[in-house]
Amino acid sequence: MLGIERQNYIIRLLEEKKFLRLSELVEQLHASEATIRRDLNTLERKGRLLRVHGGAKLVSKVIHEKGMSEKKNLHLQEKQKIAKLASKYLEDEQKIYLDAGSTVEALIPYLEEKKNIEIVTNGYSHLSHLLGKGIPTYLIAGRVKEKTQSLVGARAVLSLRDFYFDIAFLGANSMNEETFMTPDPEEAIVKEAVVRKANKSYILADSSKWEQEPGIVFARKEDVILITEEEEK
């Protein structure tokens, strides 16, 4: 079992039981105690669980996640401004990753101006905007998450293994001065994998995301460049 799959399985177990002892995880995952400790440390750093004496417990999800249809109608002017600012980083012959989400979707019209580009995305709602434009487009595999019209989870991460990106554009549900977050662990691991595979990663997020409750960290400020309607950081 891959590390990402093992860690995702740990979260699923915790969602069922809320608390698990280290010995239980060793037995269920057929892994060494040292391996499980490393997994727990990794998951704690990402904000997905809390280490306690003898084991770990789940961190509650505190963000109410809006659906794609609802988000499309929010902060429309801000999204258009963010997309225009982000478009200056588009160049001919780039391999580009587009994250699912309405803010990243606003960038799609600017792609028509570029030559010999290639698009990879986990947002199946983007396809209706990309098809017919003559742009080679790849939709990764993964579990369908209808609420955000995206493909997520360990299978999505595995399907990214053959791709590398010149540039990636990602959304975030919440952010602070140090980190960028999403409430869904299966989305977080996909975003995190994309950041690792991209030469440059940009977070496209309007300023309302500063006001949201914290979620699961998928990137830190040193890993990405933030573009909001107010400024670029």
Based on the fold, state whether residues 205 and 116 are members of the same structural domain.
yes
Please check whether residue 232 lies inside any domain of the structure: no
In whole angstroms, what is the distance from residue 184 CA to residue 47 CA?
11
Residue 110 confidence class, pLDDT cut points 50, 70, 90: very high
58, 77, 98 - which closes a domain: 58
pLDDT number for residue 47? 74
Supply the CATH number for residue 49's domain. 1.10.10.10
User: DSSP 3-state helix, strand, coil percentages of the chain (rounded to 5)?
Assistant: 40, 25, 35
* Residue 171 DSSP one-character state: -
Q: Is residue 174 part of a domain?
A: yes
Say whether both 48 and 107 belong to one domain.
no
Q: Is residue 147 part of a domain?
A: yes
Q: How far is CA 82 from CA 35, 116, 222, in A?
A: 42, 24, 20
State residue 208's pLDDT score.
Answer: 85
CA 129 to chain centre: 21
pLDDT at 88: 96
128 pLDDT higher than 80: yes
Give the integer Cα–Cα distance in Å for 92 and 6.
39
Q: Residue 84: which pLDDT band, with cuts at 50, 70 and 90? A: very high
Residue 170 has pLDDT above 80, yes or no: yes
The whole-number pLDDT of residue 120 equals 99
Q: What is the pLDDT of residue 69?
A: 55
Give the range of the structural domain holding residue 13, as residue numbers without chain letter. 3-58
- Tally of CA atoms within 13 A in the half-sphere of 35 that contains its CB: 15
Does residue 63 lie in a domain region?
Answer: no
What is the mean predicted confidence (pLDDT) over 34-47?
Answer: 88
| Residue 226 CB neighbour total at 10 angstroms | 18
Q: Does residue 233 belong to any structural domain of this protein?
A: no
Better-predicted residue by pLDDT, 43 or 47: 43
Asked if the model's pLDDT at residue 60 lies above 90, the reply is no
- Residue 149 and residue 180 in one domain: yes
Do 115 and 222 fall into the same domain?
Answer: yes
Across residues 70-86, what is the average pLDDT? 80
Looking at 58, 78, 94, the residue that finishes a domain is 58
- How does the average pLDDT of the chain come out, rounded? 89
* 80: in domain: yes
**Cβ-based neighbours of 117, under 8 Å, separated by 6 or more:** 90, 92, 93, 94, 95, 96, 111, 135, 136
Residue 50 exposure: Cα atoms within 13 Å on the Cβ side: 8
Q: Check whether residue 46 and residue 78 sit in a common domain.
A: no
Answer whether residue 55 shows pLDDT above 80: yes
The number of folded domains in the chain is 2
| pLDDT for 221 beyond 90 | yes
Task: Please list the alpha-helical segments (H only) found in the chain.
Answer: 3-17, 22-29, 33-45, 68-71, 76-87, 102-105, 127-130, 154-159, 185-197
Q: How many residues does the chain have?
A: 233
Q: How confident is the model at residue 169 (pLDDT cuts 50, 70, 90)?
A: very high
Both 106 and 190 in one domain: the answer is yes
The pLDDT confidence band at residue 62, using thresholds 50, 70 and 90, is very low
